Chain A
Amino acid sequence: MPLRPDLLAIADLVKPGWRVLDLGCGDGALLEYLRDHKQVKGRGIELSESGVLACVRRGLSVRQGNLQEGLADYPDQSFDAVILSQTLPFLDDPAMILNEMLRVGRIAIVSFSNWGHWRCRLELLFTGRMPVAVDLPQQWYESPRRQPFTVTDFARFCRQIGVFIDQQIYLNRGVRIHTGRFKNLLSTTAVFTLQKVHPR
């Protein structure tokens, strides 16, 4: 099965031979791809038993665990990159997780659905219903808790907690877009690398 487009975008940001920690790694598709195509030494954390079993079946190193408990066991700067894909809106304390990711990893790579996309904006305006993110088509009642936010919200949040955004990839329904100014309006998913020091 081909890798999901946002995961492919993340994989493009990973350099060969890196040590990578994937938070909420699900069935391990990304870690397997990184191992096979980028000779990455990968580790995963996953909450569900089915996810852990799927990862082990792919021959990955994964431990069952809850991200909300943080990454306290991991030594400082023990990974080149710590990945968090499509999980941010579900976390109770995103600032804690981002800080932990950047303590444990040299860089963080995050991907998230963008509620700032024009369809979401029009949906609320014209139908009076809460918008459903294009790349995360879940109704508000379908998951225990989920905080919608936009590319602009996330950029402001990073500034607030002293995290710098370096590389940026924007996807519209899985296709990369190269828009100068209207990224928040035109992208359905964003993929960023984050770091603690100012990028050059």
Chain B
Amino acid sequence: MTHDSVGAVSTQCFTFAEDEPFRLESGETLSPVRLAYETYGALNADRSNAILICHALSGSAHAAGYLDGDPTKLGWWEECIGPGKAFDTDRFFVICSNVIGSCYGSTGPASINPATGKPYGLNFPVVTIGDMVRAQVKLIDHLGIERLLCVAGGSMGGMQVLEWAARHPQRVRSAIPIATTAHHSPMLIAFSEVGRQAIYADPAWNRGDYYDKPQKPDAGLAVARMIGHITYLSEESMQMKFGRRLQGLEKYGYEFETEFEVESYLKYNGHKFTRRFDANSYLYITKAMDYFDLAQPTGSLAAAFANATHVKFLVISFTSDWLYPSYHSKELVSALTAVGADVTYLDVKSSWGHDAFLLEVDTMTHLVGSFLDRLVREEQVAPPVGYTPRNRLLSTSPDARLRTQLAETLA
């Protein structure tokens, strides 16, 4: 797999708002602000080939390659970002930015509050998708990029994509929102809240003040993650993955132990998640998603995109995704059509549920790759120095298990 990977990468940091605080939508301020990001590929002469990748709830800036050269630390969208892949790093300068509030290197609740010298905890201000994107705008300024060729992302990444297109249209030529929504529905808020309640109920959470304690709210965070996992699957994919199979048992034990494969899977993934994620970050990021409603300030979704008519959209949803159902994407497509934006839309037939956006690699590669080909032609984007064309790679690992594992760790 080495030949089609961007290879060894390292996460970089950009710090801003050191002098003038960064004002958040809530009215609170943050200073300084650090953003973790990675880049792959090279900028072309006129800096017109930059693509920003936005990550989902528990993602990081590490979207492709091997982190610090460690081949076990693959990027979360390794299948789609790399030489000859959907986001072709031979042709494009691909940036993946972490979000504020996260625990992967950007300023978040686990960061040190300069006012107290201790981690922020719940003193960290509540952030929104809009705040996350305005921080990314600073990063793009810092990288000297006037306009992004494309902003792409799935799930919460898709919300950032829509925020970019609606609120910063002059900085964007195209947008690829995948398996996402323009407003977090009551059902989505409900799932977020159950996850948060699981964390609040863990005594070790201690109102967010646990960073110097031996016990972390792992039990609560694990339950929150289990709920998340259920919503990323579909009944069909659960049926295929687990059925009613028992884990290491011949027959029912008639006791309250882990018996079914699906229970063991959730428990394992819930626990695994606590080793890589911070409970407070989970609270803040789910809250940011809950506040997301593009139509809210302008009154209608079409009005939100009134200044984005020049942006070319590729909207993708998946038939079995019940967390961000296709009709959310169709509503978005309707609004974009109504304002006369150039929008391509496909509801991809898939049985993988919400996880499909990380799993349907071949379809995604066709859609995204061809869409970007068209942009390159229509917007006359030159490749970087030393570019030699090659055939686009489709899925290099037909082993679905590998992809499933990837999705599990990264959804």
Chain A: residues with CB nearer than 8 A to chain B?
43, 49, 52-53, 56-65, 72-75, 78
Contacts and interface: CB of A to CB of B under 8 A. Distances in A.
B396 interface: no
Given A56-B344, A61-B312, A61-B343, A49 B367 contact: no
Interface string B324-360: 0000000001110110101111111100000000000
Interface in B361-376: 363, 366-367, 370-371, 373-374
B346 A64 contact: yes
A57 B345 contact: no
Contacts of A56: 314, 344, 346, 366-367, 370-371
B346 A52 contact: yes
B377 interface: yes
B158 to A, nearest CB: 17
Given A62-B344, A75-B338, 13 more contacts: A53-B366, A56-B366, A56-B367, A57-B366, A59-B373, A61-B312, A63-B333, A63-B337, A63-B345, A64-B347, A65-B345, A72-B334, A74-B337
Range of interface residues on B (Cβ < 8 Å): 20 to 34
16 contacts: A49-B346, A49-B347, A52-B344, A53-B363, A56-B344, A56-B367, A57-B366, A58-B370, A59-B370, A59-B374, A60-B374, A61-B342, A61-B344, A73-B333, A75-B340, A78-B340
Contacts of B370: 56-59
A45 to B, nearest CB: 10
Contact of B343 (A49, A60, A63): A63
Given A57-B370, A59-B373, A43 B342 contact: yes
A43 B344 CA distance: 9
Nearest to B330: A65
A73 B373 contact: no
A72 B365 CA distance: 31
Contacts of A62: 344-345
Nearest to A52: B346
Interface string B366-390: 1100110110010000000000000
Contact of A53 (B335, B340, B342, B367): B367
Contact of B348 (A43, A49, A61): A49
A104 to B, nearest CB: 10
A117 B314 CA distance: 43
A80 to B, nearest CB: 14
Interface centre among A56, A59, A72 (most CB of B within 10 A): A56
Nearest to A65: B345
Contacts of A64: 345-347
Interface centre among B337, B343, B348, B377 (most CB of A within 10 A): B337
A60 B335 CA distance: 20
Interface in B78-115: none
